[in-house]
Structure 1
Amino acid sequence: MNWDDLRLFLAVARTERLSAAAAMTRMDATTISRRIKRLEQALEQRLFEHTPAGHVLTDHGTRLLEQAERMEAAALGVQRSGSAAGAQMAGTIRLSASEGFGSRVIAPHLRSFTADHPRIEIDLVASSGFLNPSRREADIAVMLARPKTGPLITRKLTDYHLGLYATAAYLDGAPPLKAKGDLLRHVLVGYVPDQIYAPELRYLAEVDARLEPAIRSSSINAQAEIIASGAGCGILPCFIGDAMPGLVRVLPEAVDIQRSFWLVVPRDLRGIARIDQFVGWLVATSERLRPVMLGTG
């Protein structure tokens, strides 16, 4: 299999249009189409469905995307390890991420990047909401959903799971909690309804449409601390709940929610050394932390 064909496959998968992939790779769209067909013939699998919305991945294409992205991350990791190259890179990267992922996943591991690249300055904007990479408010964004429009390069960064958490002390003094329906009798911690900035955060409604939080915060870190104080139970990302001393996961089989983080970069920033290096580091770090993100580590 030709790696250059995989590189073109990644470009089409991320942009969903031959014209956008051509602009990204500086190749002719007809050539890219021919190379994709060659790849499909080599694999004996159809990788894209041609729709009015663009090139949409088939199931085979989705599986290949995961493999190709791991290969890309490994290649970028090798490139990143070159200290001489790293010493030459300088500038600022503004990274937008959700509060939980930014503070609990990126921040504790960021030193492994800054130690290798001391001349690159990082602005980590970890908040309830996202800066808009389409308007160049951020150089890189980690988002809860894949943007549908804009001159952007997007890819799935990692899946993650969420579960129901509480303290043992809370559970001892609360009504029995043996099924999802029992949650109607419990003190629930969750988001302020009119402050939910993305539909992917409406966890309680996914468990049971009747559930309403009695203690609310716009901050996932504040919710975690409220739950850890024993004031109630609530849904947390496993990378937060599993790491907090005193919290136990409740009803793990009945309450198991999956979400994804998406990596978003303005198209005209790819190819800039410091951006590519950070993207490679972030992809490699997320892959290494995959068990933590899925609640299995």
Structure 2
Amino acid sequence: MFDWDDLRIFLTVARLKKVAPAARALGIDATTISRRLGRLSQALDAQLFEQTGAERALTEHGAALLRHAESIESAAMSAIVDVKGERHSLNGQVRLSVAEGFGRWILAPAIPEFHARHPGIRLDVITASGFLNPSKREADMAVMLARPQRGHLAVRKLADYKLHLYASPGYLAARGAPASRERLHEHVLIGYVPEFLYSPELDYLDEVYAGLEASLRSSSIGMQRQLILDGAGIGVLPDFIVADDEKLVRLFPEEVEIARSFWLVTHPEMTKLARILAVSDMLRERSEELLGGGASIS
């Protein structure tokens, strides 16, 4: 029989893929982690990890154990919620992972009122490139650009939104308006850095016209917007980002209209908590107010 706490260490290493970050997350040293993993492997008579470069990858046995360990973790969380009475508590931490555009233009204006209404909820908003995954316990909730295809998750569509091609009057006065989408390659195009596209839903230019490439690139939608406002070039922006920017001109509005959606993703056990429901309600209300909302999907 193995020590149940070794499963907690196994889960952390499986999710972070490296011992050093796992050690920091768990508050124990790397030597202890390696020793505990070795003890678990010996107890199960199975190799759980193999070293691939700097990372530890799960073996077939390790992947099988991960599925069972996550089920045990979920059951333990449900038990804690029931016994401690957290289900109805509006206190505690909620870690929310969002895209930069959603966080800055949709979520941020609503946070002061939310905090005044729920001062006991500590809302941590993470807007790093790439989404933290609720199924891996990296976040409690995430607003994602596509519906996850894997993982034990509760999913609902928050809203659909549209994107269009924009330029500033200053740019158009200096360079002239493109005669057609086919001629856009003659202009300065602004977009994402391909190597840092953390979601294929951010690859917009190819939907405007096949083969287009940006010459001014940034991983930040906020910086792209500012470059377009300053007359540096032409780029694709979500309409909700430019709603108050009367200075921007929409190009080829009948030909270029890109559709995307925001999806709220939560670990199923977390959806029972009052603090998670409070954040979920706030996200739904803001999405309905600014974007029109979307159907609930579980």
TM-score (ref. length: structure 2): 0.66
After TM superposition, give the deviation of residue 291 of structure 1 in Å.
Answer: 5.4
Amino acid at match of 2:113: S
Partner secondary structure for residue 155 of structure 1: strand
Which residue number in structure 1 is paired with residue 191 of structure 2? Answer: 190
Q: Please give the root-mean-square deviation of Cα atoms over the aligned residues, in Å.
A: 1.8
CA contact (8 A) 2:106 2:286 kept: no
Which residue number in structure 1 is paired with residue 259 of structure 2? Answer: 258
After TM superposition, give the deviation of residue 215 of structure 1 in Å.
Answer: 0.3
CA contact (8 A) 1:103 1:126 kept: no
Amino acid at match of 1:233: I
Sequence identity, in percent?
49
Q: Distance in 1 between matches of 2:140 and 2:277?
A: 11
Q: Distance in 1 between matches of 2:247 and 2:165?
A: 14
Partner secondary structure for residue 127 of structure 1: coil
After TM superposition, give the deviation of residue 148 of structure 1 in Å.
Answer: 1.0
Which residue number in structure 1 is paired with residue 169 of structure 2? Answer: 168
- Give the alignment of 1:11-160 within 5 angstroms: 89-160=90-161
Q: Distance in 2 between matches of 1:133 and 1:189?
A: 32
Of structures 1 and 2, the larger Rg is shown by 2
Which residue number in structure 2 is paired with residue 271 of structure 1? Answer: 272
Partner secondary structure for residue 106 of structure 1: helix
Which residue number in structure 1 is paired with residue 71 of structure 2? Answer: none
CA contact (8 A) 1:167 1:230 kept: yes
Which residue number in structure 1 is paired with residue 244 of structure 2? Answer: 243
Cα deviation 1:152-173 (Å, max 9, x = unaligned): 0001110011011111010111
After TM superposition, give the deviation of residue 250 of structure 1 in Å.
Answer: 1.7
Which residue number in structure 2 is paired with residue 202 of structure 1? Answer: 203
Amino acid at match of 2:105: R
After TM superposition, give the deviation of residue 206 of structure 1 in Å.
Answer: 1.0
After TM superposition, give the deviation of residue 213 of structure 1 in Å.
Answer: 0.4
After TM superposition, give the deviation of residue 88 of structure 1 in Å.
Answer: 5.5
CA contact (8 A) 1:175 1:186 kept: no
Q: Distance in 2 between matches of 1:103 and 1:178?
A: 33
Partner secondary structure for residue 98 of structure 2: strand
Partner secondary structure for residue 289 of structure 1: helix
Amino acid at match of 1:289: L
Which residue number in structure 2 is paired with residue 181 of structure 1? Answer: 182
Amino acid at match of 1:281: M
Partner secondary structure for residue 167 of structure 2: strand
Partner secondary structure for residue 182 of structure 2: helix
5+ residue gaps, structure 2, are: 1-87
Q: Distance in 1 between matches of 2:163 and 2:198?
A: 18
TM-score (ref. length: structure 1): 0.66
Amino acid at match of 1:240: I
Q: Distance in 2 between matches of 1:175 and 1:281?
A: 43
Amino acid at match of 2:184: L
Which residue number in structure 1 is paired with residue 232 of structure 2? Answer: 231
Structure 2 CA distance for partners of 1:280 and 1:200, relative to 1, 3 Å: same
CA contact (8 A) 2:159 2:292 kept: no
CA contact (8 A) 1:176 1:182 kept: no
Amino acid at match of 1:105: I
Structure 2 CA distance for partners of 1:186 and 1:145, relative to 1, 3 Å: same
Amino acid at match of 1:200: E
Q: Distance in 2 between matches of 1:150 and 1:118?
A: 32
Cα deviation 1:110-149 (Å, max 9, x = unaligned): 2221111011111011232111111111111000111111
